[in-house]
Amino acid sequence: MESRDRELEGLFDAARARDERQVPPFATIVAPRRARGRAPRLGFALAVAATLLIGVAVWRLATPDQPKIVIAFTPGDMYVPTDYLLDMMSFPRAGEIPRIGAADWYPVPLADDASPDTRRTP
Amino acid sequence: MRATPAAAAASTDLDLRDELARVHSQAYAWAVRCCRDHRAEAEDVLHEAYMKVLDGRARFEGRSSFKTWLLGVVRHTAREHARRGWLRAIRLERWWRERNDDESTAGEDGRIGELRSALGRLSKRQQEVLHLVFYQNLTINEAAEVLAMPVGTARTHYERGKHRLRALLGESEER
């Protein structure tokens, strides 16, 4: 063998001697796989799950809300379609004999100061 | 150790354990090489290889020395392990392991560090052949057997790898 090969051999021998100090014991390798290998995997899985959760949360917060449908209604705007029946009861000419074809009902005009639910009283 | 097939068949589990323990440090070094210097992965691979031997899934038939045969089993197991490993969550776990392994080899002696660095610049096949010949003290024929390649191919890798390694070590010496 060339002397240069011996030089390489010497280097590899030194590397081997150094590595032998770091070899894990045979019993450790043969023993059933302990949690050492699994713990980082579990931690890794948890980290991935946490990242996903944070991502979903951020996405939900960053997405603008859908426009809300607001039904605005106030008592004053309400119109009860059967009001005319009440008008009939309190109509001044209620005592008159109804005539065929007479316009005996009409929408109640509200007074300016009257509240929307004001009803005419007899 | 050379053994006949009959003798190998008669070997007990205890014998196998003794044989494994005898060549353990060399097998470990080879596993580290097959796992591209990832020590934690090498331990997993070696465990799997030992289990194959002890369970009888890999059977020594005495066609070569026990050490040569075992190194072949380790290499085969490392390849299986690598094939399964692609799924490992975007290699993040591997990155973490590599980081830890790098810390374990930090502060290496100058010349050995140069050797490792120069080896790392050779092709994978050249690295494997040189490791088997110089580090494991196998012949080129045995190295070819471990690597499941023709002897001529192994010899070519050996010659070219050695030439390149010397050149790289020479360069680093000049600096």
| Contact: B108, A18; criterion CB under 8 Å | yes
pLDDT for the residue A31: 86
Give chain A's radius of gyration (CA, Å): 47
Three-state secondary-structure class, residue B64: coil
H/E run at residue A8: helix A3-20
Structure tokens that stand for A25 in this block: 């014991």
Distance from CA of A23 to the nearest CA of B (A): 6
Q: Which residue of A has its CA nearest to B37?
A: A19
Rounded mean pLDDT, B3-14:
51
- For residue A20, which residues of chain B lie inside 8 Å, CB to CB? 25
Is A24 in contact with B28 (CB distance < 8 Å)?
A: yes
Write the residue in B44, B92, B116 that is nearest to A37 by C-beta. B44
Interface test with A, best of B19, B20, B24 (most A CBs within 10 A): B24
Q: What is the pLDDT of residues A63-84, one digit of tens each?
A: 777 677 777 666 666 677 776 6
Rounded mean pLDDT, A42-59:
89
Q: Determine the Cα–Cα distance for residues A90 and A110; give it in Å rounded to an integer.
A: 15
Q: Which residue of A has its CA nearest to B113?
A: A15
Q: What is the pLDDT of residues B88-145, one digit of tens each?
A: 544 555 566 555 555 455 555 678 888 888 888 899 999 999 999 999 999 999 999 9
Rounded mean pLDDT, B28-42:
88
Q: What is the ipTM of this complex?
A: 0.74
Distances in whole angstroms, Cα of residue B123 to Cα of each of A94, B71, B126, B154, B164: 113, 19, 5, 13, 10
Predicted TM-score of the model (pTM): 0.61
Q: Determine the Cα–Cα distance for residues B135 and A16; give it in Å rounded to an integer.
A: 7
- For residue B21, which residues of chain A lie inside 8 Å, CB to CB? 26
Rounded to the nearest integer, the mean pLDDT of chain B is 81
Does the pLDDT at position B157 exceed 90? yes
Q: Which residue of B has its CA nearest to A41?
A: B93
pLDDT for the residue A112: 61
Rounded mean pLDDT, B53-80:
90
Question: DSSP string of B120-135?
Answer: HTS-HHHHHHHIIIII
